[in-house]
Amino acid sequence: MIIYLRSGGKLHDLLKPDVDQYTRRVETHEGATLVEILGELGIPLVMVAFAFVDGKVRKLDYVPTDGDVITIQSPVAGG
Amino acid sequence: MNGFGGTILRINLETGEIKRTPTPEKFAREWMGARGFVAKTIYDEVPRDADPLGPENILIMAPGVLTGTFAPAGSKIGFGCISPATNGHADSNMGGHLGAEMKYAGYDMVVFERISPEPAYLYIDDDTIEIRSAGDYWGMGSLDLEKRMKDDLGEDFQIATIGPAGENGVVYSCITHDFGRQAGRCGVGAVMGSKKLKAIAIRGTKSIPVHDLPALTKSTYDIIQRTKTHPLMEPWQKYGTALFVGWSNEHGCFPSRNFQTTYHEGWEGISGEKLAEEILVTHKACFGCWINCGKYSRARIPGKPDIYVEGPEYETIALCGGSCGMTNIHDVAYANYLCDNLGLDTMSGGNTVGFAMECYEKGIITKDDLEGHELRWGNIDDFENLVRMIADRRGIGEVLSYGTKGAAERLGRGTLAFAHQAKGMEFSGYDTRWYSAQLLSYCTSDIGAHHNRSWAITADIEIGQDTPEGKAEVVIYLQHIRPLFDTWCCCRLFWGEVDVTAEEHVDTIGYLTGWDVTFEECMQISEKIWNLTRSHYLERNGGPGRQFDVAPARQLEEKVPSGPAKGQRVGVENFEFMLDDYYHNRGWDKNGHPTREVLEILGLPHVADNLEKVGLLGEPFVDGVPKVRGKRLKPKAM
């Protein structure tokens, strides 16, 4: 199945976007958690504060479904 | 002059004299605004032995070069003085709309001198400037007064106020604006109160001259188009900074019960998600911002009136929430409201209440000190009783009005070990026992512990949490780039989160002013300001400087007892290694004193002369100071 991971800031370079400036297309298997998917992409889990799917915050044990668009964000401080 | 309002105001509150002088372009170019204007002016003008709450201290209000312009979130305005919390340079800034309004009235800096004989407020309506009586306003809460003054003067005035804590000289009093934006740190509200200045009201209807309006418009349009579809916009808009409460707990840097541990049992009840589910009313933005990270909330607590407050954001949740043992988002929002209306910084205020709760737990503070009340972890009634005592400086509230360091010095009994402060200003909402670069950031900060001087948590992860090596250079880099935004006066979030580069901000300055300015020049200005404020601190407090860059014993020696960081501590040896490395990489000597060579590189030879006169100039480096100070590791964004 295909999912789309999106990010910016510190995670931008680690994500290596290929669809547009912020988005990477990822082929993965059903039942895989975000932990597994991010691990396969070489993105350090400690640098991912949370995932954001359909307007909701998800933990990294989230199991994506086909076509999911998932934003991941690194920890930051306020402005 | 392009990019600025054009006029500096000096207001003698004692005599009522008001002086207007044109803003010198050389001054603007060399110091850029807010933090820079403050550093230069207080260094030049405030006697070294001036009491921070006495007539010789000055209070400065200054926006920056980007305030009120097309720059993303060019909303900020700085307040500065000598801090009553640290006895050193203070600058603290707020968002909202006050800074833009001040530039539209034509002013780049207001310097308040001396002390008003009666409570007063400053009224600015473009060219009309008056010092008006605030007799009817004295004693009011910050938020209550802002509403009252909007009713009295009109909605289109931008208002800044202090609360009772500022009137009474609590050293962590803040200045409030826009019903929830604060110049919160360094006790700037206490200095405003010491001058009997209760409020500032400004309406400006002019514009800011721009050097190249077509280029500025195009650049801004491109940034808007690019960022409005940025993937990180939506989570920021929905949750704001509170979203990081979960990560901070899961990675062992969230302060729980006065930093006793770093994983807060029950954090889910005070998380960003809980805020959005239970108390969020609407989103709120500062001038020129399309992120809208501000959250306007309603707290409902049985037996108390419903209250509305902007927040709580991450720092308030960490310090009024976790550090005071709270697990209910309504309680944290109510605590936020209490601090705001009383005029207390939620960061130092929450931190100080948490410190007092630990003192109560240990029997150092008792019910007799609390007018018969208790001071239990997580109890909002106890929190309310204590912050009202602090704002009024009643009983134990007088002791705690000096902050955790001042209170520990008065209480004794080993309490300094768990007073989480540096140079007299309290930690932000991050425990550092697994994050040594953040500890170095706090302890070397020129204004006392504050994450907006250097937030090094992710740098710690990238470099390695178990090593002290390589931390100093990144801290120095962050101490130059993060406060640069407080000098330009725009919010860091566009830079840190949605990929607007610092270089793009520099381009904006060029379009605005016509200056041929570079990022490297701006970073050197930031380094110059840092060396000036360090030197100023030494001139006021003596030496050796190293004695002031100290960490709380708990962070150095006590192992984290639970959670993901269990067993971690920084250790004295590691801290001293980082401090040596830090001084060396700054071009300072082993005592933490700037050397003549580095001060001359930065255009501050007179500061070297002044340090030499008082025996505090750094010993010369045998091999010369490092050519590049703090740039070996240039982290992306934060």
Q: How far is CA B30 from CA B154, B317, B603, in A?
A: 37, 38, 10
Cis peptide before B544 (omega within 30 of 0): yes
CB contacts of B494 in chain A (<8 Å) are 79
Across the interface, of A8, A57, A73, the residue whose CB is closest to B499 is A8
Q: Which residues of A touch B (CB under 8 A)?
A: 6-10, 12-13, 21-23, 44, 46-47, 49-50, 52, 55, 57, 71, 73-79
Residue B262: the pLDDT is: 98
Residue B302 neighbours by CB distance under 10 Å: 5
A76 pLDDT band, cuts 50/70/90, is: confident
Size of chain B, expressed as the number of residues it contains: 638
Distance from CA of B562 to the nearest CA of A (A): 19
B548 close to B423: Cβ distance less than 8 angstroms = yes
Over residues B170-196, the mean pLDDT reads: 98
Size of chain A, expressed as the number of residues it contains: 79
Distance from CA of A61 to the nearest CA of B (A): 14
DSSP state of B4: S
Across the interface, of B231, B451, B452, the residue whose CB is closest to A22 is B231
**CATH, domain range B236-401:** 1.10.569.10
Q: Which residues contact B492 (CB under 8 A, 6 or more apart)?
A: A78, A79, B452, B482, B485, B638
Using the beta-carbon criterion (under 8 Å), do A9 and B458 form an inter-chain contact?
no
Residue B638: the pLDDT is: 42
B7-203 sits in which CATH class? alpha beta
Question: At B394, is the secondary structure helix, strand, or coil?
Answer: coil
CB contacts of B274 in chain A (<8 Å) are none
Using the beta-carbon criterion (under 8 Å), do A55 and B244 form an inter-chain contact?
no
Over residues B351-380, the mean pLDDT reads: 98
* ipTM (interface pTM): 0.91
Over residues B113-135, the mean pLDDT reads: 98
Q: How far apart are CA B46 and CA B58, in angstroms?
A: 7
Residue B344 above 90 pLDDT? yes
Residue B634: the pLDDT is: 54
Q: Which residues contact B163 (CB under 8 A, 6 or more apart)?
A: B140, B141, B142, B145, B173, B176, B189, B340, B341, B342, B343, B344, B391
Between A and B, how many CB-CB pairs are < 8 A?
100
Tokens of B317: 């949740």
The residue behind tokens 């402005």 is A79
Residue ranges of domains in chain B? 7-203, 236-401, 436-447+453-491+518-613
Q: How far apart are CA B4 and CA B33, in angstroms?
A: 9
Residue B633 above 50 pLDDT? no
The tally of CA atoms less than 13 A away on the side-chain side of residue B599 is: 26
Pairing mode of beta strands B128-133, B120-125? antiparallel
Across the interface, of B234, B248, B637, the residue whose CB is closest to A10 is B637
Using the beta-carbon criterion (under 8 Å), do B231 and A71 form an inter-chain contact?
yes
Q: How far apart are CA B72 and CA B352, in angstroms?
A: 34
Over residues B56-74, the mean pLDDT reads: 97
Cα of B50 vs its chain's centroid, Å: 22
B551 close to B439: Cβ distance less than 8 angstroms = yes
Q: How far apart are CA B343 and CA B401, in angstroms?
A: 12
pLDDT digits (tens, 9 = 90+) for B10-58: 999 999 999 999 999 999 999 999 999 999 999 999 999 999 999 999 9
Residue B631: the pLDDT is: 62
Q: How far apart are CA B96 and CA B58, in angstroms?
A: 23
Q: What percent of chain B has pLDDT over 70?
A: 99
Residue A25: the pLDDT is: 97
Question: Which segments of B433-501 does DSSP mark as H helices, in order?
Answer: 436-444, 457-463, 471-488, 493-496
Q: How far apart are CA A34 and CA B384, in angstroms?
A: 43
Using the beta-carbon criterion (under 8 Å), do B638 and A12 form an inter-chain contact?
no
Q: Is B627 exposed, middle or buried (0-12, 13-18, 19+ CB in 10 A)?
A: exposed
Q: Is B207 exposed, middle or buried (0-12, 13-18, 19+ CB in 10 A)?
A: exposed
Q: How far apart are CA B491 and CA B493, in angstroms?
A: 6
Residue B628: the pLDDT is: 72
**CATH, domain range A2-73:** 3.10.20.30
CB contacts of A12 in chain B (<8 Å) are 499, 636
Dihedral sign of CA atoms B490, B314, A56, A74 in order: positive
B436-447+453-491+518-613 sits in which CATH class? mainly alpha
DSSP assignment string, B132-164: EE-TTTTT--HHHHHHHHHHHH-TTSEEEE--H
CB contacts of A13 in chain B (<8 Å) are 636
**For residue B109, what are the β-bridge partners?**
B8
Residue ranges of domains in chain A? 2-73
Residue B632 above 70 pLDDT? no
Over residues B567-583, the mean pLDDT reads: 98
Question: At A23, is the secondary structure helix, strand, or coil?
Answer: strand
CB contacts of B455 in chain A (<8 Å) are 76-77
Over residues B129-133, the mean pLDDT reads: 98
Element (H, E) at B81: strand B77-82
Using the beta-carbon criterion (under 8 Å), do B315 and A78 form an inter-chain contact?
yes
CB contacts of B247 in chain A (<8 Å) are 49-50, 75
Residue B635 above 70 pLDDT? no
Given strand B120-125, what is the order of strands in its sheet?
B128-133, B120-125, B197-203, B158-161, B175-177, B181-183
CB contacts of B248 in chain A (<8 Å) are 75
- Closest among B636, B271, B617, B604 to B458, alpha carbons compared: B636
CB contacts of B241 in chain A (<8 Å) are 77-78
Residue B131 above 70 pLDDT? yes
Distance from CA of B496 to the nearest CA of A (A): 6
Amino acid at B176: T
Residue B636 above 60 pLDDT? no
Amino acid at B98: L
Over residues B571-585, the mean pLDDT reads: 97
- Closest among A67, A65, A66, A48 to A57, alpha carbons compared: A48
A12 close to A20: Cβ distance less than 8 angstroms = no
Over residues B520-541, the mean pLDDT reads: 97
B572-586 helix and B471-488 helix, angle to the nearest 10 degrees: 60
B499 close to A12: Cβ distance less than 8 angstroms = yes
Distance from CA of B619 to the nearest CA of A (A): 36
Across the interface, of B251, B272, B497, the residue whose CB is closest to A46 is B251
Q: How far apart are CA B30 and CA B405, in angstroms?
A: 35
Using the beta-carbon criterion (under 8 Å), do B231 and A23 form an inter-chain contact?
yes
pLDDT digits (tens, 9 = 90+) for B290-306: 999 999 999 999 999 99
Across the interface, of B313, B315, B461, the residue whose CB is closest to A46 is B461
Q: How far is CA B265 from CA B251, B561, B578, in A?
A: 13, 13, 32
Using the beta-carbon criterion (under 8 Å), do B238 and A8 form an inter-chain contact?
no
Q: Is A36 exposed, middle or buried (0-12, 13-18, 19+ CB in 10 A)?
A: middle
Over residues B545-553, the mean pLDDT reads: 98
Residue B532 above 70 pLDDT? yes
- ∠B511-B514-B518 over CA atoms, to 5°? 80
Residue B609 above 50 pLDDT? yes
- Closest among B513, B520, B482, B600 to B29, alpha carbons compared: B513
Using the beta-carbon criterion (under 8 Å), do A22 and B293 form an inter-chain contact?
no
Over residues B491-518, the mean pLDDT reads: 94
